[in-house]
């Protein structure tokens, strides 16, 4: 069973200890979808995104883009390393 973007958002919010407000939820949902798409485009399968490690990685990625400086985007080394691991795992399990 695939998790919806809203279900992924709830898991990300738990990891970030985020406030429960509509404005915050909308901003977090956009970032969650964006990071999820980045992971998918990097070769991570939906199944791997929905694992415990995948959700932790997604949460780290959302945290990385939470406080963006205009014109600058930089994922952390941890996010990149974990995304690579999930991409490799996706190749092995498909």
Question: Under 8 Å CB-to-CB from 50, ≥6 apart: which residues?
Answer: 2, 3, 8
- Say whether pLDDT at 76 is over 90: yes
Neighbours of 33 (CB within 10 A): 14
Helix (H, G, I), strand (E, B) or coil at 21: coil
User: What is residue 51's DSSP assignment?
Assistant: S
pLDDT at 69: 76
Please state, rounded to an integer, the average pLDDT across all residues of the chain. 91
Burial of 67 (0-12, 13-18, 19+ CB in 10 A): exposed
Rounded CA-CA distance 51/38 in Å is 16
Please tell me the distance from the alpha carbon of residue 54 to that of residue 49, in angstroms, as a whole number: 4
**How far is the C-alpha of 43 from the C-alpha of 45, rounded, in Å?**
6
Question: Residue 94: is its pLDDT beyond 70?
Answer: no
Tens of pLDDT, residue by residue over 2-40, are 999 999 999 999 999 877 777 788 889 999 999 999 999
Asked whether residue 82 carries a pLDDT value surpassing 70, the answer given is: yes
Tell whether the model's pLDDT for residue 70 goes beyond 90.
Answer: no
């Amino acid at each position: 069973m695939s998790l919806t973007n809203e279900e992924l958002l709830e898991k990300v919010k738990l990891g970030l200890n985020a406030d429960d407000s509509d404005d915050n939820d909308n901003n977090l949902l956009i970032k969650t979808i964006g990071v999820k798409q980045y992971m998918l485009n990097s070769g991570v399968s939906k199944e791997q995104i929905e694992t415990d490690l995948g959700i932790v990685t997604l949460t780290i990625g959302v945290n990385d883009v939470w406080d963006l400086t205009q014109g600058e985007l930089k994922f952390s080394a941890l996010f990149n390393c974990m995304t690579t691991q999930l991409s490799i795992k996706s190749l092995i399990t498909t």
